[in-house]
Structure 1
Amino acid sequence: MRLGVTMFATDLAMPVHELARAAEERGFDSLYVPEHTHIPVSRRTPYPGGGELPEEYRRTLDPLVALSYAAAVTGNLRVGTGILLAAQRDPIVTAKALASLDHLSGGRLVVGVGFGWNVEEIENHGVPYGRRREVARRNVLAMQALWRDEVAVVEGVEPSWSWPKPHRMPPVYLGGAPGPKLFAQVAEYADGWMPIGGHGIKAALPALREACEKAGRPQACEVIPFGTRPTRDKLDYYASLGITQVVATLPSGPADVVLPLLDEYAALL
């Protein structure tokens, strides 16, 4: 079982490069950071967890800049977006940045992609909330073409060169609640599913596997429980389902808050 960690990287939290070094020293497999481009102050969209929106949502660093710092001070730690809001990004610019990060890190990038929950944040990017999945799909497919092809053919763009190419095709995992729409997209263009927490995975696995097999991509049904609070029993349970990697959640706080929990998780390795 490979164990990674995720933390909201902010201007107030433990510096991401220090966390990366600490995680690698303790034997963790990966470090993921989330993305919010901004949070409109109207707060028309309720926080999905209920109650007040946590402070870290207002203060997130750009994930690709943060991960470049993490990759630069480590040698084996995989670095990932957890998650990248693909519908809110220009795919040509983002493909270049992600390819550069993977190239410079020697192939350590993982791209977790989500569709977003904050209506006004998404719509500020010119994307209607109801089309966010469609736009995210289009953008990821465009990025994959730019990573893969010598001359990339992308919808709405002239056939184009784009270098550097990534060290290898970065794996893409889709976040979101289980269901036919999500699993159809996983089966079409992703490498697996990244559910938050982990509740309900066992019940959802047959539908995910069926969708991937129907699409002729059975290898795409990898599952990475994300943002969970791991215990030995929980990790053993995931292993019994065939899951080989889990991402544990860390608080967005200073080192004296983060490191004791990192040590607690390290004892499970």
Structure 2
Amino acid sequence: MQLGLALPTFGPDARPEGLLHVCRTAEEMGYDSLWTGDRVLAPLVPGAPYPSGGGVMPRAYENHMDPLVALTFVASHTTRVRLGTSTLNGLWQPPIMLARSLTTLDVLSRGRLVVGLGLGWMPDEYTAVAVPWEGRGPRLDETLDVLEEYWANDVFAHEGPLFTIPETVVGLKPAQRPGPPVLLAAFSPGGLRRIGRRFGGWLPVAMPLPYLMGMWDTILKEAVEAERDPSTLRMALRVNPQLTESRTDPGQMPRKGTLTQYIDYARAAAEAGVHELFVDFGQTTATLAERVDLAGRFLDGVRAG
């Protein structure tokens, strides 16, 4: 199982110095990937509760970087680690613009981009970017159509229910062919069906492993029904530790526990068949130096197993 680490693109350490320190140190430690998320708003009164943490959005989100710009910066200061989005809200810009940005980043990183796309949870952000909250599923499907067409063809045009793209030459191609891997964050039956039937795989958040692998089995069955090879799909599991000083009841993992408990969870995930696991210590109260230390101890602990 490959291991990744979240970049400090939220909170007080979302600065050039923070990004440089984490990306260089993580690559030297031996991490396989680096990840960033996506926010455009931090409303004083969100229109929907945050999906974890008791419904309260982390204060760190009040200071947020553009994820693709941040990854481009990190790409110029690393050589090996893959660069992922967890998740990029793929509906906040026209798909032709998204395709151009993702292609450019894959070229500049020399083929290290992993595209994790999601739909977000906050209607307020859709209001801010003038995109309807309703109809997100069909909008995502058409966005994926455009990405696929843009990456596959030297000349293409698109005529769909939401987007019209006149016939155009596409000269810039991703370093990864036919395109960078696209992982989708979803948990609904429709979302799992979409993952199984198109693109590269799943981007879940940590949950008890029996539930996780049960949902993964659903995705693989959907792939088989769509006459796809299920072995080509990958899962990259996000873990947001809430660290405690003493061991918690096993029923509280992976929501909260000690670092040792999270190491044990990662080892069990590897045995269960998870392809990649990445950890975000940025949702703790630790300083940047403490987070880097935790990242080193976590990596050593998982790989010692």
TM (norm. structure 2) is: 0.81
Identity %: 27
**Alignment partner, residue 95 of structure 1:** 99
The answer to whether the 8 A contact 1:194-1:223 is kept is: yes
Q: Shift in Å at residue 11 of structure 1? A: 6.0
**Alignment partner, residue 165 of structure 1:** 173
The answer to whether the 8 A contact 1:208-1:221 is kept is: no
Q: Shift in Å at residue 19 of structure 1? A: 1.1
The answer to whether the 8 A contact 1:7-1:250 is kept is: no
The answer to whether the 8 A contact 2:11-2:59 is kept is: no
Q: Shift in Å at residue 6 of structure 1? A: 1.6
Alpha-carbon distance between aligned partners in 2 of 1:205 and 1:143, rounded to the nearest angstrom: 24
Pair 1:18–1:161, CA change in 2 (3 A): farther
Alpha-carbon distance between aligned partners in 2 of 1:135 and 1:190, rounded to the nearest angstrom: 16
**Alignment partner, residue 262 of structure 1:** 295
The answer to whether the 8 A contact 2:7-2:23 is kept is: no
Q: Shift in Å at residue 220 of structure 1? A: 5.0
**Alignment partner, residue 193 of structure 1:** 202
Q: What is the identity, as a one-letter code, of the residue corresponding to 1:47?
A: Y
Q: What is the identity, as a one-letter code, of the residue corresponding to 1:197?
A: A
Alpha-carbon distance between aligned partners in 1 of 2:25 and 2:19, rounded to the nearest angstrom: 10
Q: Shift in Å at residue 215 of structure 1? A: 1.0
Alpha-carbon distance between aligned partners in 2 of 1:182 and 1:220, rounded to the nearest angstrom: 18
The answer to whether the 8 A contact 1:195-1:225 is kept is: yes
Alpha-carbon distance between aligned partners in 2 of 1:52 and 1:63, rounded to the nearest angstrom: 22
Alpha-carbon distance between aligned partners in 2 of 1:233 and 1:256, rounded to the nearest angstrom: 23
Alpha-carbon distance between aligned partners in 2 of 1:215 and 1:17, rounded to the nearest angstrom: 43
Q: Shift in Å at residue 51 of structure 1? A: 4.5
* Larger relative contact order (CA 8 Å, sep ≥ 6): 1
Moved over 4 A (4+): none
Counterpart among 219, 227, 238 of residue 208 in structure 1: 219
Pair 1:236–1:53, CA change in 2 (3 A): closer
**Alignment partner, residue 246 of structure 2:** none
Give a deviation string over 1:230-255, Cα, whole Å, max 9, x none: 73432332222222211112215652
The answer to whether the 8 A contact 1:122-1:129 is kept is: yes
The answer to whether the 8 A contact 2:90-2:118 is kept is: yes
Counterpart among 119, 126, 129 of residue 125 in structure 1: 129
Q: Shift in Å at residue 40 of structure 1? A: 3.8
Q: What is the identity, as a one-letter code, of the residue corresponding to 2:35?
A: Y
The answer to whether the 8 A contact 1:141-1:189 is kept is: no
**Alignment partner, residue 225 of structure 1:** 237
Q: Shift in Å at residue 79 of structure 1? A: 0.5
TM (norm. structure 1) is: 0.91
| Structure 2 unpaired stretches of 5+ | 242-260
| Structure 1 unpaired stretches of 5+ | none
Q: Shift in Å at residue 130 of structure 1? A: 2.6
SS at match of 1:157: strand
CA RMSD in angstroms comes to 2.0
Number of aligned residue pairs: 268
Q: What is the identity, as a one-letter code, of the residue corresponding to 2:169?
A: W
**Alignment partner, residue 68 of structure 1:** 72
Alpha-carbon distance between aligned partners in 2 of 1:51 and 1:225, rounded to the nearest angstrom: 21
Alpha-carbon distance between aligned partners in 1 of 2:140 and 2:44, rounded to the nearest angstrom: 24
Alpha-carbon distance between aligned partners in 2 of 1:42 and 1:112, rounded to the nearest angstrom: 27
Q: Shift in Å at residue 63 of structure 1? A: 0.4
- Does 167-176 or 156-165 show the bigger shift? 156-165
**Alignment partner, residue 279 of structure 2:** 248
SS at match of 1:153: strand
